[in-house]
Structures are given as structure tokens and as C-alpha cells.
Amino acid sequence: MQNTDRTWAEIHLDRLAHNYHLLRKHTPSDCRFLAPVKANAYGHGAVTVSHTLADLGCDYLAVACLPEALELREAGITLPILVFGYTNPKDASILVENHLTQAVFSREQAEALSLALKGTEYTLSVHLELDTGMGRLGFPCRGALCAPADALIAMKLPHLHIQGIFTHFAVADMDEDDYTRAQFETFIKAIDWLEQESGQIIPLRHSANSGGALRLPETHQNMIRPGLALYGVSPNPELIETNLRPVMELKTRIIQVRDFVEGESISYGRTYKTTSTEKIAVLPIGYADGLPRILSGKMNMLLQGETLPQVGRICMDMCMLNVSTLKKVSIGDVVTVFGQDGSNSQSVHTLATLAETIPYELLTRVAPRVPRITFP
């Protein structure tokens, strides 16, 4: 049963399809599409999103860890899946048996995975990760060294099949194209060196995240992996204007309406006091649902197409909304946290800016107890 009695997230799969096709239009027909569905598909529901992407013709999926990958396999997802993060080498056979591909970012990790499969006929498909300027995971690949010798060693290990290679852009969604292009140039030189020294061709090459896919077509290579843009949110609205459609909308309902006189305090800490006779609605959504407490008294919500202020501190399971300007408000009325309400709308970017964070965090923070209601 789809429960909308309390708080819920609406997932619009037609918008997912729209964004997928829009991103496809930015790439050549022979360029593959890797869809990141890590962190429960950025909070949207990994299983449902993955099935939809498979139907749309997506080529590849990516997750953060082995449990996320196994969840998709158990749900019948047969697309290739890349595990971006660390997997304990003792689970190397599980990766192979479930037809999963592992990202390899160091010589130690590569050797441990290969050793774990010693004595078996198993071969694990891997994608090498190069660090070209992100300063995170990856074989270091900067400066005078065109490509790390350790990556070359990894390519020659038994039980590992090098299916792909990738890097992460640090600022592709910002106005620092020189840095991104330098990263890309380093990446290309590294691949050329590795292929020449190893005598192997690395089939898949990917570096273009949402920013790269939308802004820097020279970085597309033969596979792109846009994440945030796939879910309908521009990685930088000021720099990247798109026709993306947000896939998620967060909704809640009024559970009580009360009249307060001047000078009464609302919620913990008494940070808000009424300045006149005010009508306050209680909403069953709080920081345990993913609504950041830092937004207390800073954000608005939408009701009956109007923009109304949230007041008082956001609690674990509830918050309050000032509805004094509306003529009639009833228990059960739907309130939009972000999304569309009539002709009015509020973006997750707006809330992220107020919370001094990024849309990625707000989307992935929507708690598991908030049901995802899907629309075809």
C-alpha cells in the first residue's frame, strides 16, 4: 500500500526518462551511459530506478558498495554494475559470482583481490581508477609522471580483467574549465601510456559526470556517468541551464492547526514567538525524515499554491508552518517541501543553499521511513 498519510516522496519516472533522453542527446549514439544508483539512487529508490533505466536502454549502473550491488541483483537487475567503493578482498568471489565489476584504485587492493581468487578459475572484471586531481581514491596520476607504474602492475595480475578505466572531475560543474581540461588531458595521456606499456586495450573509458556531460563534450569518451542531472537537478543552475525535470518531490500533510495569541513561543528553545494572533499548522516531518534542523526558521513551504514560512525549531518528527495568511486550512491538506504546488514551485537547490549544503545531500538524506510513491 502506498502510504501518504504522513510524509512521502513522489518519484516521477516519466521525468527520469525525460532526463535520460535529454542527456543521451548530448552524446554520440555509440557513447554508453553509466547511471549512478548509489545511495539508494540518490534517495529515489535504487531498485525502481534501476528497473526503469534498464527499460530505457541504459548500459551500465554504478553503486558505492557490495551490499548495494547485491540488492539490485536480488531484485532481478541484470545490467552490468560497477562497485565504486571498497570491497573486502575476501568477498572477491561474491563479486565474480554475481557478475559485478569492481573499481580498483591501488596496487595493494589489486594484489589482494587477485590473491583472494588464487586457486580458482575466477576472473574479476575491474575498472582502474586514476586520481588526476580529485585528491581522493585512485592511482596517483599527476605531475611529471604520465601514469603510475602501480596501475601497470595491476593490469598484469592474474584473475583480474581490465574492462575499463575512469577518473573523477573535481570542478566540472564550476567555472574552472582549465582545471577540468588539465585533468582530462592527464587522464588521456595515462591511458595511452598504460595501453602502450601493457599491450592491452582498455575497452571502457569514462570521466564525464553531470557537469562534464552537459558542459564539456570533449570529455565524453565512450561512456558518460551523469548522476545528479539524471535525477533532474542541475549541478550548478547559475552555470548550466537545462531542461531537466526534478524526479523527486517531497510532500507532507497538516496534522493539527492551532490559533496562538501574541507573545506565545513555538517549539524547542523558544526561538520563535508570535507577534500577533497567528494560525500555526503542525506537520509530521522533521530531521529524522531528512529535513535538516539548520533550516529552522529559514525555509518556506508551499500550501494551496502559496509560499509560507516554517517557524520555530524543526523537531525530530515534526515542524511548524505559519498559515495565518490563508483563509481556510484543514487537517490533511498537502504541504510541499520541495517540488510543484499548482503554479508555484520550490527547488531542492533553494533549500540546499539555505542549509549551506548541496542538493545531493538533501536528496540522499530523505530517510528510509519516508515512503517513495512512484508515478509512471
CA distances from 313 to 40, 300, 367 (A): 28, 13, 19
Residues 198, 58 share a domain: yes
Whether residues 162 and 271 fall in one domain: no
Residue 83 shares a structural domain with residue 133: yes
Amino acid in position 133: G
Give catalytic status of residue 251 as yes or no.
Answer: no
Query: Within this chain, do residues 256 and 344 fall inside the same structural domain, yes or no?
Result: yes
Cell numbers placing 17: 526518462
SS3 for 198? helix
Of the three residues 171, 199, 231, the one that is the final residue of a domain is 231
Q: Quote the pLDDT of residue 1.
A: 52
Identify whether residues 226 and 254 lie together within a single domain: no
What's the pLDDT at 146? 57
45-77 as b/e, with b when 16 or more CB fall inside 10 Å? bbbbbbbbbbeeebbbbbbbebebbbbbeeeeb
Indicate whether 296 and 354 sit together in one domain. yes
Catalytic site residue from 38, 60, 272, 287: 38
38 is catalytic: yes
Do 104 and 160 sit in the same domain of this protein? yes
Query: Do residue 222 and residue 290 come from a single domain?
Result: no
Which residues of the chain fall below pLDDT 50?
none
| Residue where a domain stops, chosen among 181, 196, 231 | 231
225 and 267 co-located in one domain = no
> What pLDDT is recorded for position 242?
78
In a domain, 210, yes or no: yes
Domain that holds residue 185: 31-231
Check which CATH number belongs to the domain holding 92 and give it: 3.20.20.10
The pLDDT assigned to 142 comes to 72
Query: Is 26 within a domain?
Result: no
Look at residues 186, 205, 231 and tell me which one is the last residue of a structural domain: 231
What does the pLDDT read at residue 299?
98
Q: Is residue 239 part of a domain?
A: no
Q: Which of 118, 179, 231, 268 is catalytic?
A: 268
The answer to whether position 340 is within a domain reads yes
* 284 and 325 part of one domain: yes
pLDDT tens per residue across span 188-230: 999 999 999 999 999 999 999 999 999 999 999 999 999 999 9
Residue-level pLDDT at 89: 98
Q: In residues, how long is the chain?
A: 376
197 and 298 housed in the same domain: no
Cβ of 79: how many Cβ atoms within 10 Å? 18
Q: Give the chain's domain count.
A: 2
| CA gap 79, 85 in Å, rounded | 18
| Residue 140 pLDDT | 93
Kindly state whether residues 84 and 181 are assigned to the same domain.
yes
Q: What CATH number corresponds to the domain at position 329?
A: 2.40.37.10
